[in-house]
Structure formats: structure tokens, C-alpha cells
Amino acid sequence: MSTNKLDQLYRSVIMDHYKNPRNKGVIEESSITVDMNNPTCGDVIHLTLQIDDGIVQNAKFEGDGCSISMASASMMTQIVKGKKVDEALKAASVFSDMMLGKDVDDSIDLGDIEALAGVSKFPARIKCATLAWKAMEKGVGNDSEQ
Amino acid sequence: MLSTDIRKHFPILDQEINGHPLVYLDSAATSQKPRQVIEAISNYYGLDNSNVHRGVHTLGNRATEGYEGAREKVRNFINAKSTEEIIFMRGTTTALNTVAQSYGRANVGEGDEIVITYMEHHSNIIPWQQLAKEKGAVLKYVDLEEDGTLSLEKVREVITDRTKIVSIMYVSNVLGTMNPIKEIAEIAHAHGAVMVVDGAQAAPHLKIDVQKLDCDFFAFSGHKMCGPTGIGVLYGKKELLNNMEPIEFGGEMIDFVGLYESTWKELPWKFEGGTPIIAGAIGLGAAIDFLEEIGLDNIERHEHELAGYAMERMSEIDGLSIYGPLDPEKRAGLVTFNLNDVHPHDVATVLDMHGIAVRAGHHCAQPLMKWLDVSSTARASFYIYNTEADVDRLVDGLRIAKEYFADVY
């Protein structure tokens, strides 16, 4: 029983992203750098974004945290790359709804992040999953204000 | 070990979490409450509730007797000379901030030193950082030995004649280390500094004697020792408290109020502005009765034995590292650990799915995490209601976690 519930959280897609993170690293010529941490648990993320012509051309991250936070960061970079800034922000809001356990707007292709839907059943872990997304929102938000 | 009958006093323990009987191993964060504490609070509100120190009426008298009676229980619990030295506050954090803002502001100047250690909880770091910044004082850290203990030699090297305040935790909430407060207080006093003790992790677990320790201030919280949240104690030597200014002003703490000048009540009330934490103090008094009935010496022995058993059983797991002194006699009843490279959050989630509550994170001790060179750890902490069977369940849970993440980490 317990292991079944665990499997809802630790889906194999998540574990794969944790073991083989996509877009790990730093964009040297990045236009945006965001450092964010989760003060209650110590998870940290260093996110670099390259945004040109209102499009997220590239996104990379480095960080230290649990499987959920790092897998979520990997998936986030995958999703936002190549998207317009407003689409990236829309994805973030869809993801936020998903974490709240709400029905999500399925007009957007969520790709692997659908695997994180189970996190909403583990309230203590939601903040792990949202860290990278908050960093991205902060980064592109700052950019769009310029 | 204490009798497992103690568990019957804690209604919360009798429940299942995620389909398994609860094993609560997070008492260093907050302890569970025995029925008699819950009832003392409920009876106060149900029968005696009134404001204190002002009612001519009967309920006012009952409330005052309950509140001041609790103060006498605290005095006896830590062997203070007088109830004038016992100030009720919200908790250890408020108590340490009060010392920093009242005693510290008046006695620390530019170039003076405040000495703490790398193992301190944030609540015994930040009040001093703020004070040092405000006054241009120097905040100095005593380094730790490799096993997470303090050496008096290093303490002697750091404390100088410029040191005005030495503030150190009695028992570490991460390493479990029990620090030689009495000896450190002697060194501090030889240099004319005051000794402040963060007793949050000590008061629940061992007999406190502030006169023997000869500390100048001692702070602790009720909720870690079977009492309610929102009540704590600042002990201070009377001669120091008498010369200190309150940091909160208002009702309850005044003697005479004029248009432009006011005077304060005598100790301890001058530090208790506003309607005090009456139910909290009464709950804390009931918690003290409960702990003293068991006996603090018995509690301390129980925890040494349980920590020893836990370290022995946990060492059977390959890849599990334990932080802090490995000698159970040198540590209080908690074990902080990491399991291979599995992140502590993931460990804690697997344990929670098996009904076992542990803490994962930086334990409000980021400088110590840096010293240990880890970003976070997991911690199992024990109290009077924990048993060897709880430790066995923890070890089983850790084995499951290890296996579950075997391919990942």
C-alpha cells in the first residue's frame, strides 16, 4: 500500500530526470541569472536563461536538492526552451494549478511534467517541485519588465 | 529504559499514519503533550479563565494563582534562587532576542566581542549578528572538534577581555553534543563577560541547575518539554535583570504612568508587558509536574540508552553516516544522519509513508551544515515515549528507503 503511494510520487520519468538531468549547466552568455533557494529545506537552484526576441532560446540549471526539486528543474527547462515568454509563464501557471490539485488546462503540451501531478498528494513536497518554476517566473518576469 | 506505559499518557501516539502505527521521532522539533497538560489548559479555560494581577474577583485570583504558581514550578525546575529571576516569554527565540536587545544594547560597544560557536541554532546567531552590526562589535565563532564537540582550549583562545557576551547552546539540536556550560561560564566570567545559555534542547532532557552552571541567562521553550507552544522562559540573575530595561512597554509591566514619564514594576513583571501567556504558563507548570514525576535523571538515562541503541542499529546499514559524537554518553537523544546520497527529503517521505516522522532539512543551523559540508540531513530525535521498538521500525524504514532509491542515487 505504502509503496504504491510512493510510486505515485516517484514516477520513473521523475527518477530518470533526476539521474539524467536535461539542460544541466550554465549558459555563459546568458541574459538572465536567477539564484533561488528554499529556506526551509536548503534546496538551491542557479538558473540561467537566454531570452531573445521574446523567446526563451536556452535554459540551463545547476542546483542541489532532492529528487523532486531537481527533476522538476530538469523538466521545466525542457518545457520552456523555445517557448515565447508568455507561453513559458502560462506553463508555469498550469504547473501551479497542477500542484494545487486543480484540473489543468490541457491545451498546453505538458510533456514530462505531467509525471509530477502526484506531488500534489504530498503537501510537504510541493515546495520542492515549484522551486525551479518560481525561479523561471522571476527570471522571465524581470526580463519582460525591461 | 523507562516503562512503555508512559506512552498511554500521550493520546496522539495512538493513531495510524499512512496505514502504520505512528512512530514519532521529531521531538527535538516539538514534543508531544501528555493528557494532563492538555487537561490543565482546557480546565483553565473551562473553569478559571480571567486576567491576572488585577481582578478583585475570585476568577482573577484563581488565574493569578495558576500563573504565579507555574512560575514557582519553573524556579524549582531549574533551581533559580528566586521567582523574580523567572520571566515568561513566547519561547527561546524571544528570550535570546530580549537578552540581545536589552542587556546587549546597553553593554556592548564598538570593538567589543560576542562569542558563539559553529553549532548554534539560528535563534542564537542572528540576534547577535544584528547586535554586532548595530554596535560595530565583533561576532566570533568557536570552531568545533572533528567529532562535533567543543574543546575548552579553543573556547579559551576565542574569549578575550574584549568579550562582553558568550552565548552557547547547552545541547546541540543537530549533533546531540552536550556542551560543558559550567566550565565555559567560568572562562567567560574570568574575562568579565556574561554567559548566556540556549537551553532549548537541554531543559526537556536533563536536570538543569542554573546556580551550579553559574550562567547569567538561560533560555528555554515549553513546547519541547511536553508543554504547549507559545510559552518559554528567560532566567536571568537578579542583579543583571534589575539593571536591564524592558524591551516591550504597555499594560501589566508598569508601576506609574504619567504624561511624559513612566516607571516599571519590579521583577519579573517589568519584562512581561501586556496580558501574559496565562494558559501557556499553566500548561508548562503541568508539564514540569509530569516530567518531575518521571524524574529528569531517569529521562536522561533513557535517552542515552535509546541513542546508543539507535546508533548501534543504524550503523548496521551500509552507507549510513551519523553526525556528531559517536559516544552515546556524550550526546542527547537524537541521531542526525544521511543515507548514502539519498536526499534527506526523499528519505523522510519514504519513512512517512511507513508512519515514521523524522525531520529533514538544515535544522535551523545553516552555519553548522556548512561546517559539516552537507546541504541538509535527516534527524531522528527521541523522547520519553520512544522505545527500542520505534528504533527497530526506523531501521526497517531506512532499509526500505535505501532499497527504493537503490537504482537512483
Q: Compute the average pLDDT of residues B321-337.
A: 92
> Per the CB < 8 Å rule, is A15 touching B408?
yes
| Minimal CA separation from A52 to chain B, in Å | 35
- CB contacts, 8 Å: B408 with chain A: 15, 18-19, 67
CATH architecture of structural domain B296-404: Alpha-Beta Complex (3.90)
- CB contacts, 8 Å: A67 with chain B: 343, 346, 405, 408
SS3 B39: helix
- How many Cα atoms sit within 13 Å of B205 on the Cβ side? 31
Output the pLDDT for position B241: 98
The answer to whether residue B55 scores a pLDDT higher than 90 is: no
Output the pLDDT for position B115: 98
Rounded to 5°, the CA angle A44-B358-B384 comes to 145
Q: Compute the average pLDDT of residues A104-125.
A: 85
Output the pLDDT for position B223: 98
Domain count, chain A: 1
Residue B18, chain A, CB below 8 Å: the answer is yes
The ipTM assigned to this model is 0.85
- pLDDT confidence of B328, banded at 50, 70, 90? confident
Classify residue A129 by burial, with Cβ atoms within 10 Å: 0-12, 13-18, 19+. Answer: buried
Output the pLDDT for position A105: 76
Do A76 and A132 touch, CB atoms closer than 8 A? yes
- pLDDT confidence of B284, banded at 50, 70, 90? very high
Nearest-by-Cβ selection for A66 from B346, B354, B362 = B346
Output the pLDDT for position B347: 96
Nearest-by-Cβ selection for A67 from B19, B343, B375 = B343
| Minimal CA separation from A10 to chain B, in Å | 9
- CB contacts, 8 Å: A43 with chain B: 375
- Residue B62 to residue B47: CA distance in whole angstroms: 9
Output the pLDDT for position A112: 86
A with B: how many residue pairs have Cβ under 8 Å apart?
57
Nearest by Cα to B306 from B359, B380, B206: B380
Q: Which of A6, A40, A45, A128 to mutate to test the interface with B (most CBs of B within 10 A)?
A: A6
Q: Which helix (H) or strand (E) holds B24?
A: strand B23-24
Percent of chain B predicted with pLDDT > 70: 100
Q: Which of A14, A41, A120, A130 to mutate to test the interface with B (most CBs of B within 10 A)?
A: A41
Percent of chain A predicted with pLDDT > 90: 67
The answer to whether residue B329 scores a pLDDT higher than 90 is: no
Q: Compute the average pLDDT of residues B113-125.
A: 98
Nearest by Cα to B394 from B340, B339, B342: B339
Do B199 and B208 touch, CB atoms closer than 8 A? yes
Nearest-by-Cβ selection for A42 from B20, B376, B404 = B376
- Domain coordinates of chain B in residue numbers? 38-292, 296-404
Query: What residues are paired with A51 via a beta bridge?
Result: A56
The answer to whether residue A145 scores a pLDDT higher than 70 is: no
Q: Which helix (H) or strand (E) holds B391?
A: helix B388-404
Q: What is the mean pLDDT of chain A?
A: 89
The answer to whether residue A60 scores a pLDDT higher than 90 is: yes
Q: Which pTM value belongs to this model?
A: 0.94
The answer to whether residue A144 scores a pLDDT higher than 60 is: no
Nearest chain A residue (CA) to B344: A66
- CB contacts, 8 Å: A37 with chain B: none
The answer to whether residue B243 scores a pLDDT higher than 90 is: yes
The answer to whether residue A4 scores a pLDDT higher than 90 is: no
Q: What is the mean pLDDT of chain B?
A: 96
Residue B369, chain A, CB below 8 Å: the answer is yes
What are the pLDDT digits (tens) for A66-90? 999 999 999 999 999 999 999 999 9
Q: Is B226 a catalytic residue?
A: no
Residue A64, chain B, CB below 8 Å: the answer is yes
Output the pLDDT for position B409: 64
A42 lies in which domain range? 2-145
> Per the CB < 8 Å rule, is B349 touching A124?
yes
Output the pLDDT for position B375: 87
- CB contacts, 8 Å: A124 with chain B: 349, 352
The answer to whether residue A146 scores a pLDDT higher than 70 is: no
Which is higher by pLDDT, A106 or A29?
A29
CATH number of A96's domain: 3.90.1010.10
- Residue B182 to residue B266: CA distance in whole angstroms: 29
Q: Which of residues 24-63 of A touch B (CB under 8 A)?
A: 40-44
Strands, DSSP E only, in B199-328? 217-221, 232-236, 254-257, 262-264, 320-323
What are the pLDDT digits (tens) for B164-219? 999 999 999 999 999 999 999 999 999 999 999 999 999 999 999 999 999 999 99
- CB contacts, 8 Å: A128 with chain B: 345
The answer to whether residue B163 scores a pLDDT higher than 50 is: yes
| Minimal CA separation from A100 to chain B, in Å | 19
Q: What are the φ and ψ backbone dihedral angles of B88, each rounded to 5 degrees?
A: -80, 135
Q: What is the fold, at CATH topology level, of the domain defined by B38-292?
A: Aspartate Aminotransferase; domain 2 (3.40.640)
> Per the CB < 8 Å rule, is A40 touching B343?
no
Output the pLDDT for position A1: 44
- CB contacts, 8 Å: A13 with chain B: none
Q: Which of B364, B388, B392, B400 is catalytic?
A: B364
**DSSP string covering B53-100, please?**
S---SHHHHHHHHHHHHHHHHHHHHHT-S-GGGEEEES-HHHHHHHII
Residue B182, chain A, CB below 8 Å: the answer is no
> Per the CB < 8 Å rule, is B353 touching A2?
yes
What are the pLDDT digits (tens) for B26-38? 999 999 999 999 9
